[in-house]
Amino acid sequence: MMRGGRSLVSSPPAFSNDAKKLLVCTSNTVSVFSTVTGLLITSLEGHTALVTSVIVVPPSNPAAKVLCYCWTASLDGTIRYWDFSLPELMKTIDIRMPIFSMVIPSFLDVPAEENGKHQDLFAYVSIEDTKETQERTKASRRQIRKCNLSKSRLVGRLILGETRKPEVLTVSPSGKFFGIRNKCKLHIWKVLDQGSERAAVRKITLHHTKKITVIAFHPTQRIIAAGDVTGRILTWRGFGNRAFAASNGVADQKLINVQEDKPGVRDNDDADSCSTWHWHSAEVNVLSFSSDGSYLYSGGKEGVLVVWQLDTGKKKFLPRIGSPLLYFIDSPDPTLSSISCADNQIHLLKMPSMGILKTISGIKAPCFYPDIYEGLGNGIAFDQTAGIVAVRTENYCIQFYSLFDDRGVSEVQVCERNHQPGDDVIVTSVALSIDGSLMSTSEVKLAEEGIGGLVCLKFWDAGSQNKEFSLSTIVYEPHRDAGISAVKFHPSGNMVVSSSFGGDFKVWKCNHDVIQNDQMRQNFSWTCHSVGSYKKKPMTAAAFSADGSVLAVAAETLITLWNPYKNVLLAVLGETLTPIVNLSFVGKSDNLVAASCGSNPQLSVWNMSKLSVSWSYKLHIEAVASAVDLSSFAALVLLPESSKKTTFKGMDGVILLFNATDPVPTVIWSVRKAKGGALCFVQVNPSSVEEISIDGKAPEVLLAYMNGDHEYVLFDPYCKDAREVSVSQKEGLAAHDHKGQAGQYGYASIYGELPEFDRKRPEAPWVPSFPSDRPWETIFSGSSHNLPPLTKLCSAFLESLLEKRTAAAE
Amino acid sequence: MAEIRAEEPASTISKTFLIKPKLKSKPRSLPQTPESKYWSSFKSTKIPNLVSSISSLSFSPSPPHLFATAYSTSVSLFSPLSLSDGDVSPSSTISSFSDVVSSIAFRNDGLLLAASDLSGLIQVFDVKTRTPLRRLRSHTRPVRFVKYPVLDKLHLLSGGDDAVVKFWDVAGESLVLDLMGHKDYVRCSDCSPVSPDLFVTGSYDHTVKVWDVRVENSRSVLEVNHGKPVEDVIYLPSGGLIATAGGNSVKLWDLIGGGRMVYSMESHNKTVTSICVGRVRKENDGAESMEDRILSVGLDGYMKVFDFGNMKVTHSMRFPAPLMSVSFSPDCRTRVIGTSNGIIFAGRRKGKENVESGRVGNVLGFESISEPERRVLRPTYFRYFHRGQSEKPTEGDYLVMRNKKIKLAEHDKLLKKFRHKDALVSVLSRKNRENVVAVMEELVARKKLLKCVSNLDSDELGLLLTFLSKNATMPRYSSLLMGLTKKVIETRVEDIRNSDALKGHIRNLKRSIEEELRIQHSLQEIQDLGTSRASLVNLFRGLGNIHLPSLQTSLTPAALLTSASLILMFGNKSRMVFVNFF
């Protein structure tokens, strides 16, 4: 079982101490990426729910920089301690309450163990108390608690605060303060130096009139910045002078003097001054001070990173990032930082110049359109041979995402415009040819009060070497002003059918001529080959048979069969109750699957030889997939509301695997978030067989299921018991890159890498007497005058022992 | 090779997109072969207003390769150099002829020019002074050709309607030989490029005869039958092959092989009137070489380029008149074609190469004159600040490519700032209708077009109405603009009533829509006729100018209905009939 397509931006990532790795929370796991190559190195697996925080243990001295330890907290109620270089789980603390956020302020205050007295390490967690549901109101179940990590337990009944919603804790870089936002208020706690369990933590509150969205602490001074929903950034200086200083025994008199003029500070808040900056037009999501404290980074929905000079308020911009910003993380390396965007991309920035070095690209989230346009597919197309999925993104792109490698491959801008939220341009469908070299997309521009609507059909071809798609043909209004319901490729790739709600379908044919200028270049152009219609009924779905000789087009409730080359109507198949939305031929067999939706949804299988229905179910089908050379197909079924609660816990869909001739499904899997999902059989190409194996043998096809959030899973549908698919990562690639960039030390830095030790020489059979696999059994046998000299024998003997040990270790 | 590197990737991730008009469909044309590219690179100049048919064209063998044209009773000399400057007046004209000039020939040093006319007289002129030096009279009937042997400066060859080929001694104005044998008019001849004694003549008796002046009894040494009256004959540069033109065909003959026909090229539709040898530059594996071609022109108005190495027609070019004569300059830079109605199509190529077609060794050309010396750059010159910028990269240099700068038009900038109305006004005042429509479409996508329309003040509204009255009926834009026009009039009816200027615009709009309706009506009638009577359709198809697909596209029912309803809105009741009609 291979999972992928997870969100990289559910929680803030963290840099390792040498800034060579980036730890990203990806649902149940933490993925470790190389910051140089942007590729996945390893992942920490163990949590059973969403990981909400990852904290890298900072080095206590410069030598400890190479250590790779981190704490993670998750919604499954555990806090875990990892060595992420191996990766290995070191420790698990179960507090049995979902943790929304965790901070560990006092790393620096924990003295090294050499003085003999080990001090406890404390974390502050934002949790939901699930136990005391009866006694307490729901409002106050979200609590801020303290946790003793060394002793693996929560600290007594100490509840620092209660909030209505789960809030994110923010800690100051110095580790002295941490705080949360609570609607229009800010709560700040001061961490006491002594890590005794019961020590009361002091708290102050700062007030604002708008809802606060994000806060940040200054690394050295007592400055806190907060962003609100209107886009303002507030900076309080000298917060907590009164409350926190009192504990340190400073005279009260000084405080009174301070109290006299507090420009901008609301009510009787404990701060010296408060200033406001306003540039953002919408809510501020990102707020972070630079490590020296002279700059403040802010960002929000506009996708612009703003750098404020703290003293003067002067601004610098990194514009057009293209998606709302979520997190900005500084790394220990002053030249590197990262921004996480809402479109599931993490950009690594080269710091002073703010150029983008690398992008860690996750699958982009599905885009939701208001339900005004009919025939909007889910915008997902699969390249079965290469294991690549093409998904539609919000900014009119098609993202190509490798299912096996779990990373973005490329992106194609379908519609040449910048994304603005109010615009009514929709990429409606995308189709890929079987070999993945041709693509067809359709887009629609909705009319403004009846004028100016436009439907566009575009054909793309991939260059032979770089796999970048380039536009070959645009067809404006292919079916006059009617929308396109389906676009399908012929198995040979040189024919496309597009069906429209306007009552006709068109078959497009590809003429390609080879232009031979400086390099060989193929020039594809598509022209309309034929037009067909059946009783002026809207054509709602289309499919080619596996050999390409039959074209099935659904005319609302009927299925019409055509010869695509001669444009001859072959047959018309019976009637369903509601319009058919999905047609698919089952492999090479003579069966056709039709799915209709609406009030009377139906999944029906038609026999082509008898031209009659074989069997049908009343099921709401979201997607149908059939492999090219198999006689079975898989259907993704949306469960009706009534059965959701009773039989399937939280699951809203099932995948059914049918043999086309048999109405009883062979296998059933239940899945979540099936709405907007997609299914596909993916062929395992021989080159990657050694990477994917199930119980040692390689499957021929895998079934890919992608849910409504574009998370996907790949599994072998025909493997009955073993569900575990072991995937050996492309370690070679990632590890090699990692080695290349990890700075060279000592000898290597002066003289370069040592040449590879030539292992072949000692293996050469210069001792002719032991050809056996287990030389220690035969090495000393035979007459003594036949034996080689003892020095040679001895080394061979020892070597054989060594070999045995390594074999055992494996 | 210098390494080319892109500049550090820019910090922007999303790109800037310009507002572009919709793509137009391009006519599908065959890709150009290198050879047709070569022939198309002759920049064509038209020399008009020569009185009648251009009977003969000839290039001077010596640089600058003047060419002489024979038309009516005069001979004009043109300089190819002035042609490339666009000057089409002749550099000099000889008009001391009593009858129509039939043929002209340069001597191989380019100093003398022989011309024959239909009165039977042959005159030899000095090219510089244009004075007639010798007058050769012996032909009793019109002379059709006169030729100087390629390797001989002293003799002249002529022939005409008296079926006799005459060999002249020019200096003594005396006839050397009378060559009898042709049974009909002798129309053409060519002299061997390899021997001063051999020549070939073609006649209307369908035969081509090869003559040798050394043969005593004045009989032809070889005879081939073309099968049609021979219009032109040439030696190919090797001297062993000849090409003959007659009827619709050009035939190649192997003289050394005893007069065997090698190939017959029959791609002209009418009589081939003239042929000549042209040269084309070929690049084979980087090495340049010249290859010979036969250029043939015919009464069908086509010039065809025939590759007699591969026996293929490699290029074909159409001219708007029957063609009478063709010639190709020895330096391969000029080709001239004469038509039957007194126009010369001269084509001249750019380029410095000074390739001779092999007949005459060239010593000096105009091209070799050195260019003016470049001035030393001083800081007061503007060029001083650009010095070194055209330097070519050397091997091992890193060439840093800068990202291409995107030029934003004013409406692009305004749209980026969401100033929609200003963008619309700005593009309306630019008068590029494709851009206007593109901006309107972008505004539709942003759902802002109608808001813009309602915000326009009266001047800007006038601008919009002017645009609409000009373009609303264009079929390409009508689906958008018709709807827009309707909306504009609906929303701004008060403003239009209050302003006389706007009323004027509305009148223009009304007029253009009425006209469009009239056109569509008549087209519809044609189509109706066509559907009822298939023969009429064929008639219209035969007419060629009206073809039915274009009719159908312009007759989109939506456009018709909107235009009809617009008319209704203006209160023109008489147009109701169209609505019913459609």
The full set of domain ranges for chain B reads: 41-348, 413-519
pLDDT given for residue A647 in this prediction = 59
Q: Which of A106, A223, A249 is nearest to A176 (CA)?
A: A106
Inter-chain residue contact B483 with A450, CB threshold 8 Å:
yes
| Residue A87, preceding peptide bond in cis (omega within 30° of 0) | yes
Residue A474's SS3 state is: strand
Q: Tens of pLDDT along A483-505? A: 888 899 988 888 999 998 888 99
* A447 in reach of chain B (CB within 8 A): yes
Q: Specify the range with the lowest mean pLDDT, choosing from A353-367, A395-409, A782-796.
A: A782-796
* Mean pLDDT, residues A593-621: 85
HEC string for A757-786: CCCHHHHCCCCCCCCCCCHHHHCCCCCHHH
pLDDT at A553: 92
For residue B550, the model assigns a pLDDT of: 35
DSSP collapsed to 3 states, A284-304 = EEEEEECCCCCEEEEEECCCC
Determine, for residues A447 and B8 on separate chains, whether the beta-carbon distance falls below 8 Å: no
- Among A27, A15, A18, smallest CA distance to A70 is for A15
Out of A290-304, A620-634, A794-808, B383-397, least confident range: A794-808
Q: Which of A420, A425, A448 sits opposite B450 (nearest CB)?
A: A448
Taking residues A655-667, report their average pLDDT. Answer: 84
Task: Return the pLDDT at B424.
Answer: 92
Which range among A351-355, A761-765, B12-16, B92-96 shows the weakest confidence by mean pLDDT?
A761-765
Q: Any idea how long chain A is?
A: 810
pLDDT at B526 (0 to 100): 81
Q: Is the pLDDT of residue B425 over 90?
A: yes
Interface test with B, best of A448, A455, A524, A525 (most B CBs within 10 A): A448
Calculate mean pLDDT across residues A577-596.
85
Q: Please give the radius of gyration of chain A, using alpha carbons only, rounded to the nearest integer.
A: 32
CB contact at 8 A, B425 and B452: no
Residue A275's pLDDT band, with cuts at 50, 70 and 90, is: confident
CA distance to partner chain B, nearest, from residue A416 (Å)? 6
Architecture field, domain B41-348: 7 Propeller (2.130)
**pLDDT tens digit string along A759-802?**
444 444 444 444 445 556 666 666 667 677 777 777 777 777 77
Predicted confidence (pLDDT) per residue in B514-534, tens digit: 888 898 888 888 877 655 544
Q: Is the peptide bond before B64 cis (omega within 30 degrees of 0)?
A: yes
Taking an 8 Å cut-off on Cβ atoms, the answer to whether A417 and B445 are in contact is yes
Is residue A58 scored above 60 in pLDDT? yes
- The pLDDT of A629-649, averaged and rounded, is 73
Using the Cβ of A474 and the Cβ atoms of chain B, whether some distance falls under 8 Å is answered with yes
Q: Give the pLDDT score at A775.
A: 58
Write down the pLDDT at residue B428.
Answer: 92
**What mean pLDDT is reported for chain A?**
77
A370 to chain B, any CB pair closer than 8 A? The answer is no
Q: Are strands B43-47 and A712-715 parallel, antiparallel or unpaired?
A: unpaired
- In 3D space, the residue among A511, A701, A248, A319 whose CA is nearest the CA of residue B16 turns out to be A319
Whole-angstrom distance, CA of residue B423 vs CA of residue A724:
59
Q: How near does any CA of chain A get to the CA of B284, in Å?
A: 14
Asked if the model's pLDDT at residue A370 lies above 70, the reply is no
Closest residue of chain B to A425, computed from CA coordinates:
B445
Contacts of A417 in chain B (CB under 8 A): 17, 442, 445
Q: How far apart are CA B369 and CA B65, in angstroms?
A: 16
Closest to A675 (Cα-Cα) out of A633, A715, A707: A707
Asked if ipTM goes beyond 0.85, one says no
For residue B534, CA distances in Å to A31, B520, B526, B581 come to 74, 21, 12, 22
Whether A593 has a pLDDT exceeding 80, the answer reads: yes
- Does A141 score more than 50 pLDDT? yes
What's residue A298's pLDDT?
92
d(CA B444, CA B480) in angstroms, rounded, equals 10
The mean pLDDT of B48-54, rounded to a whole number, is 80
Does the beta carbon of A413 lie under 8 angstroms from any beta carbon of chain B?
A: yes
The reported pLDDT for the residue numbered A741 is 39
pLDDT of residue B569: 42
Residue A763 has a pLDDT of 43
The answer to whether B449 contacts A424, with C-beta atoms less than 8 Å apart, is no
Mean pLDDT of chain B, nearest integer: 80
pLDDT number for residue B553:
38
- The number of C-beta contacts closer than 8 angstroms across A and B is 76
Q: Do B445 and A322 touch (CB under 8 A)?
A: no
Decide if pLDDT at A129 tops 50. yes
pLDDT of A804 reads 53
**Interface touch A423/B446, C-beta < 8 Å:** yes
If you average pLDDT over each of A145-149, A406-410, A535-539, A666-670, which comes out highest? A535-539
pLDDT value, residue A689: 47
For residue A447, the chain B residues in CB contact (below 8 A) are 444
The confidence band for A730, taking pLDDT boundaries of 50, 70 and 90, is very low
pLDDT over 90 percentage in chain A: 4
Q: Does A109 touch chain B (CB under 8 A)?
A: no
Length of chain B: 582
Q: Which amino acid is at A511?
A: N
Architecture of domain A12-109+120-130+140-167: 7 Propeller (2.130)
- Helix, strand and coil percent figures for chain A, each rounded to 5: 10, 45, 45
The answer, for A514 touching chain B at a CB cutoff of 8 Å, is no
For chain B, state the CA radius of gyration.
34
Please state which of the ranges A9-23, A27-41, A261-275, B62-76 shows the lowest mean pLDDT. Answer: A261-275
Q: What is the three-state SS of A722-758?
A: CCCCEECCCHHHHHHHHHHHCCCCHHHHHHCCCCCCC
Strand partners, A430: A441
The Cα of A278 is separated from the nearest Cα of chain B by a number of Å equal to 19
Q: pLDDT: is A194 or A62 the higher one?
A: A62
Global confidence as pTM: 0.67
Query: What residue segments make up the domains of chain A, in order of their start?
Result: 12-109+120-130+140-167, 378-477
Cβ contact B318:B49 at 8 Å: no
Higher pLDDT pick, B369 / B344: B344
Task: Return the pLDDT at B81.
Answer: 81
Give the Cβ contact number of residue B89 at 10 Å. 11
Determine the average pLDDT of the residues in A681-689: 68
What single letter denotes the amino acid at residue B65?
Answer: H
> In this predicted structure, what is the pLDDT of residue B271?
92
Q: Picking from A413-427, A571-585, A708-722, B330-344, which range would have the lowest pLDDT averaged per residue?
A: A708-722
How far, in Å, CA of A437 to CA of A489, rounded? 11
Rounded to a whole number of angstroms, the distance from the CA of A527 to the nearest CA of chain B is: 11
Please give the full DSSP string across B314-365, using - where no structure is assigned.
EEEEE-SS-EEEEEE-TTSSEEEEEETTS-EEEEE---------SSS-----
Burial class (CB in 10 A: 0-12, 13-18, 19+), A783: exposed
Say if residue B386's pLDDT is above 70: yes
Nearest to B11 among A354, A418, A454 (CB): A354
- Taking CB atoms and an 8 Å limit, are B480 and A320 in contact across chains? no
Q: Which of A170, A424, A434 is nearest to A289 (CA)?
A: A170
Q: If you average pLDDT over residues A266-286, what whole number do you get?
A: 83
Give the residue with greater pLDDT, B290 vs A108.
Answer: B290
pLDDT band at A642 (very low <50, low <70, confident <90, very high): low
CB contact under 8 A, A454 and B441: yes
Query: How high is the pLDDT of residue B542?
Result: 41
pLDDT score of B427: 92
Confidence of residue B421 (pLDDT cuts 50, 70, 90): very high
Which pLDDT score is estimated for B362? 38
Residue A347 forms contact with B (CB below 8 Å)? yes
What residue spans of A338-414 are helical by DSSP H? none
Model pLDDT, residue B388: 78
Four-residue CA torsion sign, B544, B550, B554, B555: positive
**Which residues in A lie closer than 8 A to residue B424 (C-beta atoms)?**
none
pLDDT band at B422 (very low <50, low <70, confident <90, very high): very high
